[in-house]
Structure 1
Amino acid sequence: MSEKLNNIIEQLKSLTLLEAAELVSEIEKVFGVDTSVSIASGNIANVGPAQPVVAIEAVEEKTQFDVILSDVPADKKIAILKIVRNITGLGLKESKEIVDNVPKVLKESVSKEESETIKKEIEAAGGKISLK
């Protein structure tokens, strides 16, 4: 471990309980993390001395999206209907049903690139898409 980290550890060891609680509170504010710890087993005999715990959740970039047709203006239905047919591979009747009954999912679990391409096509035709 580096000397810098050793110094921080030594300083943490010398904190009073009140100072440690203030430090945890400040870490939560500054870094936007939750330091609460839940003990699911109910057996707290195995828990060591009270020490501040910082739980940092990894923020994962979403890679799969659901493409939802959320709005279709009446004067743009035919243009959007053609795009929906191309995107979904459905027939005229099924595609018309989607366009007439928005919001509807066009595609589920598609890549970011594909979802953005679909969104651009539909929005260019006058419709609105939401990605989830």
Structure 2
Amino acid sequence: MSTVSEILEKLKSLTLLEASELVSKIEETFGVDASVSTGGAMMMAPTDQGAQTAAAETAPEEKTSFDVVLEEIPGDKKVSVYKVVRSVANIAVNQVKEFTSVLPKNIKESVSKEEAETIKQQLEEVGAKVKIV
């Protein structure tokens, strides 16, 4: 018989008072609170290190590099959008149409927030739909 099965059999034979004492001892020993309802599982009380780790995991990382994504080019604005795309992406005139044939398309990757905003503004001024990710 496995250890888990043995423990389970012993738990079945406990009285209500003994079960209550067992819960108290488990709470003390493992630093948990059995009164917290988490869908049937006991919740661990955070230790100092656990609290720091949890805080670090929940603190959002500040993003420092952004991608400018061209989502849509209106049919009547293609020429003006192509001009801006050509200068921003630094590609030849004859490559612009092919470059923008499949949208959405990353026009510029890993740029600063300010540069991404400037590029977005330039493209929106000529009628393109753009987002920053």
- State the TM bucket, normalised to the shorter chain: 0.5 to 0.7
What is the CA–CA distance in structure 2 between the aligned matches of 1:99 and 1:16, rounded to whole Å? 56
Alignment of 1:88 onto 2:57: no
Q: Is the 8 A contact 1:77 1:99 kept in 2?
A: no
Any stretches of 5+ residues in structure 1 without a counterpart?
A: 1-12, 26-49
Q: 1:79 is aligned with what amino acid?
A: S
**Of 17, 26, 31, which aligns to 2:33?**
17
What is the CA–CA distance in structure 2 between the aligned matches of 1:65 and 1:76, rounded to whole Å? 25
How many pairs align? 93
Any stretches of 5+ residues in structure 2 without a counterpart?
A: 1-27
CA RMSD of superposed structures (Å): 2.6
Structure 1 stretches of 4+ moved >4 Å: none
Distance apart, 1:16 and its partner CA: 8.4
Q: 1:60 is aligned with what amino acid?
A: E
Q: 2:33 is aligned with what amino acid?
A: L
Q: TM-score, normalised by structure 1?
A: 0.60
Q: Encode CA deviations 1:30-86: one digit per residue, 9 max, x unaligned.
A: xxxxxxxxxxxxxxxxxxxx9512412221221111111110000000000000111
Higher radius of gyration, 1 or 2: 2
Match of 1:62 in 2: 63
Q: Is the 8 A contact 2:33 2:45 kept in 1?
A: no
Alignment of 1:125 onto 2:126: yes
